[in-house]
Amino acid sequence: MSLTCFKAYDIRGKLGEELNEDIVYRIGRAYAQFLQPKSVVVGGDVRLTSYFATSYLKTDGGIEITASHNPIDYNGMKLVRANSKPISGDTGLNDIRRLAEDNNFAPVNFAARGGIRELSILDAYVQHLLSYVDVAQLKPLRLVVNAGNGAAGHVIDALEAHLPFEFIKINHEPDGTFPNGIPNPLLVENRASTTAAVIAHKADMGIAWDGDFDRCFLFDETGAFTEGYYIVGLLAEAFLLKNPGAKIIHDPRLTWNTLDIAQKNGGRAIQSKTGHAFIKERMREEDAVYGGEMSAHHYFRDFFYCDSGMIPWLLVCELLSRKGQTLSSMLEDRIAKFPSPGEINSHVEDPKSAIEKVFNHYVSGANLIDKTDGISLEFDNWRFNLRMSNTEPVVRLNVESRNDQSLVKQKTTEVLNLLNS
C-alpha cells in the first residue's frame, strides 16, 4: 500500500483518504522501529510545539501532530530526533515510509510497553522566549494579536504578565473547528480582521499566526501586511548588531535585500534550499545565528536551530522600542531599494515544462544562474526565482529589482505571461 501522505520533509494528508487511525498507528510503529527511542515528546496543534520540548526535556525524539495552515479536513505529522533535528526524506523519512507501507511489525510485547506522562513546559518555554530581548528596554506598545483560533493564544497569555505591552486579542481561544477560517495569513482574504483591529485600536503593530504558530506574520501601524522577506532582513540586522561577523542563512527566492544587509553589517549570508529541514541542517553545519525564509519561517541557533513564531515579533518590538520608529518607517527604505510583489502562484498543467520554457527564454542574458531550488536568474537590475510546489501542480514566482518598482511590475507580468502561454 503506497502512502501518499509522505511529503519531502513531513507528513500531510486528507483525513479518511490519505490519513486515518490505522495509517497513523503504522507511522508511529515505523518511527519507533527506525529511531529506537527510549522517550518521545508528542505535541499537537493546540498545545506547545514539540520542538522546544524535545530539546528541553532531552528526549530521543518528538512528533508534532499538526496540519498547520491546511484545510480543516487535513492533518499531518512532523518528526524529529534528539536535539530537535528534523527527519526529512533523505535523513530517515523515506525509511519510515517504507516500514509503514510494509506494515510488517513484530507483535506488541505488552509486558515491555512504556508509559505516558503529561508535562507542562509552558513556564520554561516563556522564560526562554524572554531571553531574546531586554525586557527593561521595551516600551508600552499596543499590539493586536490574532491567534486564528490556533495554538498561539495561551502563550501570549503566559507572556503578558512579563511584558509592558497592551494586547488586543482577536480569534484568541483555541478552537479546532476554526470558526473564523483556517489560520493562514499568507492568504490575502485572511488578513482583513487583523488589519481592521490595528486601525480600530490605533495599534503599533499587528501579529497573526498559523495554526501551530511556527510562523508569525506582521502588520504595520497602518494595518498593512508586511512581506516576510523584509522581516528576514530586519532580523538579520538585529542579530548581526549583537553578533558581529555571524552567519545568516536565507532561501533562494528573494535574496538581494538580505545579502545587502549582511554585507553592510559585517555578516555572511549563506544560501540554502527552501524548507525547514534544509534550513535547519545548513544552520547546524554553519553554526549560523539566524536563518530566515520569506514564507515567515524564522530559525534561531539558541532555539535549537528550530523555527519559532514567537521570537520574531518579540525582537521586532525590541527594535521598535530602541529606535523609536514605526514598523513602516523602519522598512520603507528597504522596500524601496529592493521592491518585490511577494510570491505569486500559477496553476499550470506541466510545471516542469513551463519552468524550462521560461529558463530557455531568459538564460542567454543572465549574469548569474542558480539551481539551488528551482531556477534563479539574475540580471543587472532585476532577478527572479521560479520553483515547483512539492504537493500540487503550481509554479511559484518571485521577482525583485534594484530600486525600480516599475521594472518589477513589468518583469513580473512578462514572466507570468510566458509561464501561462
Residue 50: predicted pLDDT:
40
The segment(s) of the chain belonging to CATH 3.40.120.10 are: 11-122, 142-219, 228-329
Domain 142-219 listed as CATH 3.40.120.10: yes
CATH 1.20.1370.10 fits 11-122, yes or no: no
248-294 pLDDT tens trace: 999 999 999 999 999 999 999 999 999 888 899 999 999 999 999 99
Q: Residues near 75 by Cβ (< 8 Å), separated by ≥ 6?
A: 12, 13, 15, 19, 65, 66, 67
CATH 3.30.310.50 segments of the chain: 344-420
Specify the pTM.
0.90
Q: From the candidates 55, 68, 272, 376, which is the catalytic residue?
A: 68
pLDDT in tens, 349-407: 999 999 999 999 999 999 999 999 999 999 999 999 999 987 678 999 999 999 999 99
d(CA 222, CA 144): 12
Three-class SS state of 30 = helix
Give the rounded percent of residues in the chain with a pLDDT score beyond 90.
Answer: 81
Give the per-residue pLDDT at 211: 86
Q: What angle do CA 304, 305, 309 make, to 5 degrees?
A: 95
Class of domain 344-420: alpha beta
| Chain segment 121-163, per-residue pLDDT in tens | 999 999 999 999 999 999 999 999 999 999 899 999 999 999 9
Q: How far apart are CA 257 and CA 233, in angstroms?
A: 6
Position of cell 528550530?
A: 306
Band of the pLDDT at 49, cuts 50, 70, 90? very low
* Fold observed for domain 228-329: Alpha-D-Glucose-1,6-Bisphosphate; Chain A, domain 3 (3.40.120)
Q: Does residue 204 surpass a pLDDT of 80?
A: yes
CA dihedral 193, 195, 219, 186 (to 10 degrees): 50
DSSP state of 215: B
pLDDT (mean) for 211-234: 96
- 47 vs 88, higher pLDDT: 88
Q: How far is residue 86 from each of residues 78, 225, 279, 282, 298, measured CA to CA in Å?
A: 8, 30, 10, 12, 15
Looking at residue 46, its pLDDT comes to 54
- Region 224-248 average pLDDT: 96
* 68 in catalytic set: yes
